[in-house]
Structure 1
């Protein structure tokens, strides 16, 4: 898998819009992030470490912040969104029920701060 842009170009329009929105918010919050790979997935990279990946799975869109603690930091807000769910290192949502901007931004801030430490 290549860059975030290459990955987005492979998606159908509905999925692309939902995934692109998450990447756009994350990059806006961490403008020093760059496109790259994290654990083989297209991802935003910050200071040489994976910040966030967003991928289409069979039944959901997954956000991977490469940190179970980052997922835990927004768990309550995520669970309030219909069709969303959590796993140890993953946040799942449906394109028709996107996560609120503030939840995505809080997740990205948490992960950025982890990397900065």
Structure 2
């Protein structure tokens, strides 16, 4: 028999569903993302927290032994190398819960995604004007 998960109403509701220890980690990740992309909007997408700015910046989710962080890092070789230790299948990142969260890396990833999304939006706007 399949179980159904209910979609949380917002990121606060998503975080509230976890143990206090995991809640603290999720709030720190949320704060790191907010600091790196203060204009991003919070939402729930695919039943997990998402931040958007000119498209999806990042998603994150808590699992039994790790925090999943999506989408895969692309477009910055140095950053790709820095996150390679956390890469799971398909390139999505897995930050183990029994290790300190790499907030510096998370911040770098979000800033790269902001830059990529804004460049993509600018390119689309340029095409429309042509």
**Gaps in structure 1 of 5+ consecutive residues:** none
Shift of 1:5: 1.3
User: Which deviations, in whole Å up to 9, do the C-alpha atoms of 1:21-54 show, x marking residues without a partner?
Assistant: 111111111111111133442211213x221121
Aligned to 1:99: 101
Q: Distance in 2 between matches of 1:72 and 1:38?
A: 28
More strand by share: 1
Give yes or no for contact 2:73–2:79 (8 Å, CA) kept in 1: no
Q: How many residues align?
A: 112
Shift of 1:76: 2.7
TM-score of the pair, normalised by structure 1: 0.78
Aligned to 1:88: 90
Aligned to 2:82: 77
Give yes or no for contact 2:43–2:49 (8 Å, CA) kept in 1: yes
TM-score of the pair, normalised by structure 2: 0.71
**Gaps in structure 2 of 5+ consecutive residues:** 1-6, 120-130
Give yes or no for contact 2:65–2:98 (8 Å, CA) kept in 1: no
Mark the CA change 1:112 to 1:6 in structure 2 (over 3 Å): closer, same or farther.
same
Worse-matched range after superposition: 70-79 or 107-116:
70-79
Shift of 1:105: 1.0
Aligned to 2:37: 30
Aligned with residue 16 of structure 2, among 3, 9, 16: 9
Q: Distance in 1 between matches of 2:24 and 2:118?
A: 29
